[in-house]
Amino acid sequence: MQANINWLDNPEVFRVNQLPAHSDHPFFRDYREWQKQHSSYQQSLNGKWKFHFSANPMDRPQDFYQRDFDSSNFDSIPVPSEIELSNYTQNQYINVLFPWEGKIFRRPAYALDPNDHEEGSFSKGADNTVGSYLKRFDLSSALIGKDVHIKFEGVEQAMYVWLNGHFVGYAEDSFTPSEFDLTPYIQDKDNLLAVEVFKHSTASWLEDQDMFRFSGIFRSVELLGIPATHLMDMDLKPRVADNYQDGIFNLKLHFIGKKAGSFHLLVKDIKGHTLLEKNEDIKENVQINNEKFENVHLWNNHDPYLYQLLIEVYDEQQNLLELIPFQFGFRRIEISPEKVVLLNGKRLIINGVNRHEWDAKRGRSITMSDMTTDINTFKENNINAVRTCHYPNQIPWYYLCDQNGIYVMAENNLESHGTWQKMGEIEPSDNVPGSIPQWKEAVIDRARNNYETFKNHTSILFWSLGNESYAGDNIIAMNEFYKSHDDTRLVHYEGVVHRPELKDKISDVESCMYLPPKKVEEYLQNDPPKPFMECEYMHDMGNSDGGMGSYIKLLDKYPQYFGGFIWDFIDQALLVHDEISGHDVLRYGGDFDDRHSDYEFSGDGLMFADRTPKPAMQEVRYYYGLHK
């Protein structure tokens, strides 16, 4: 198969040759590797890559992926990083409208006319910058002789991949891992990986989040050596029995490769007591159903108790092929007949924040240190929940939330705000995904990527269909996807408020944003059909967060109110050296001559962009401490 640039224009093409999304569990060669937290099956490709920037697709070096291509004039760029922050192209912050506003007229394919393909909209887009990345690598010894996959954890926004001159695949959905099988073309030495990253594609219509608009390989890239038999996917469904004491353990395992040998499975508590032990022969699909654990220790924010699952995979000669360690908790979320959200049988109150991934120097290419700092800030300030606004986060974040008892609303990578709201008015004439058939699979795929990757994380209590994308058949289909795959969590979507007739098909909870306290109370006083939350409230732009008590006191009056997520955790601003003052300063939208811009609206955080708390944080700590 050859790469086709017209895929950029076609909403029906969003993944080519990508491996199916699967659980994010780690796998080690043996116990020692687990102890050292380093898997020899994983070879990082992070570091300096060769790089060429093109202002648009017409100018790009089309044959750069070929082995005989002369790349001597290429620059180098760090991977992971944002292309804009290496100053190849302009930083731009814009909220609702699309980044091409005032420069290029575009409409989404098929939005106005079922025959309108919008050919060339992006493949010939004058604003569609291109990053051509090259990386030469040798396989590490542990990978030689194995099937080799490559995993891109995050690339904005559309990418084509080649290895040694052969086309490997194509991916969109910037914020979930894209994995490809390199085995047919891999060499032990001197491999040439080529990745072509486009800033825009039809995915741009679905990734209209309120943020700086970056592009590039902004999360880690690694090679995975696949053992002869390998656990590709696991689906862990620990349930809590109706007595809220006992646990019911369910697990599905999906093996690939030779699928021969056996596995040894253990579940242990924190004192090392074994609750479950299994030795079974490997088949492609294995199920462990309804194993009952009496008197389990339940997981919650105050006591994030995790059990240890260990799966040892052996070949037919009893050699250990891989060790899969995974920690999980028992917890149960449900809605009572009185429309109260319950966690482990007790009322759940979300003292939450929306969190963009942000680093003032690195943009959305954040570091482990950023993540652990944020978790500590949560714990210090009684923040018990996070909404991953408005895209899946880096994988380690979900592990940190499991370990620290942070309740997660795991949001899809979806926001099409500019297709239905213009200058504050609701005008959905060109809305996507809407009910347009050609946009359906792309958004279901986003739901699937989010679900399959993160499904085993205890901390996730809610799946969120996305942000501010209006509502239609395709959002309904996303809701159905989650409902048909997961009965252990609730589904959330706010945008259905604009089409109330769809409320019985979308979202288990009534969710609003920025509804004033009086209006919240009106909803709660009138026999609410669903539990109520604010997925965004207390807009912390500048000197703000006043009047929070008016929301918090409603929690005492109305059990159907289960709290909300403050907008938002951290300012989006970039640290820049100011030649005039000689200081390093924080800059916001419009400060890079970027137009059209929404200027300082990029900074709405409880934290300044350099991660110092704003003065309002003491207020949050107080009010969030009242319903811990």
Partner 1 sequence: MDYTNNQLHIIYGDATLGVNGKDFQYIFSYERGGLESLKVHGKEWLYRVPTPTFWRATTDNDRGSGFNLKAAQWLGADMFTKCTDIHLKVDRHDFAELPIAPFNNKFSNHEYAKSAEISFTYQTLTTPATNAKIIYNIDDVGHIKVTMRYYGKKGLPPLPVIGIRLIMPTAATGFDYEGLSGETYPDRMAGAKEGKFHIDGLPVTEYLVPQENGMHMQTKKLTINRETTQNNVDRTNEKFSLSIQQAEKPFNFSCLPYTAEELENATHIEELPLVRRTVLVIAGAVRGVGGIDSWGTDVESAYHINPELDHEFSFILN
Which residues of this chain interact with partner 1, rule CB under 8 A?
424, 514, 516-517, 537-550, 571, 573, 578, 580-581, 583, 585-588, 591, 600-604, 608, 614-616, 618-623
Please check whether residue 444 is in contact with residue 476, taking contact to mean a CB–CB distance below 8 angstroms.
Answer: no
Cβ proximity to partner 1, 120 vs 546, nearer residue: 546
Q: Which residues, listed in sequence order, are joined to residue 28 by a DSSP beta bridge?
A: 323
Choose, from 153, 179, 468, 510, the residue flagged as catalytic.
Answer: 468
Please check whether residue 215 is in contact with residue 199, taking contact to mean a CB–CB distance below 8 angstroms.
Answer: yes
Q: Distance of alpha carbon 42 from its chain centroid, rounded?
A: 21
Helices (H), 151-300: 203-206
Cβ proximity to partner 1, 361 vs 587, nearer residue: 587
Cα–Cα distance, 514 to 536 (Å, whole number): 6
Task: Using CB atoms within 10 Å of the CB of residue 124, give its burial: 0 to 12 exposed, 13 to 18 middle, 19+ buried.
Answer: middle
Cβ proximity to partner 1, 120 vs 549, nearer residue: 549
Cβ proximity to partner 1, 337 vs 582, nearer residue: 582
Cα–Cα distance, 571 to 587 (Å, whole number): 10
Cα–Cα distance, 538 to 302 (Å, whole number): 24
Phi-psi region of 292 (alpha: psi -120 to 50; beta: other; left: phi over 0): beta
Cβ proximity to partner 1, 117 vs 553, nearer residue: 553
Please check whether residue 45 is in contact with residue 222, taking contact to mean a CB–CB distance below 8 angstroms.
Answer: yes
Pairing of strands 93-94, 178-181: unpaired
Please check whether residue 382 is in contact with residue 419, taking contact to mean a CB–CB distance below 8 angstroms.
Answer: no
Cα–Cα distance, 170 to 465 (Å, whole number): 24
Choose, from 82, 222, 536, 619, the residue flagged as catalytic.
Answer: 536
Catalytic annotation present for 468:
yes
Task: Using CB atoms within 10 Å of the CB of residue 273, give its burial: 0 to 12 exposed, 13 to 18 middle, 19+ buried.
Answer: exposed
Cα–Cα distance, 462 to 486 (Å, whole number): 10
Amino acid type, 591: D
Cα–Cα distance, 30 to 582 (Å, whole number): 52
Cβ proximity to partner 1, 404 vs 544, nearer residue: 544
Cβ proximity to partner 1, 280 vs 578, nearer residue: 578
Q: Which residues are catalytic?
A: 468, 536
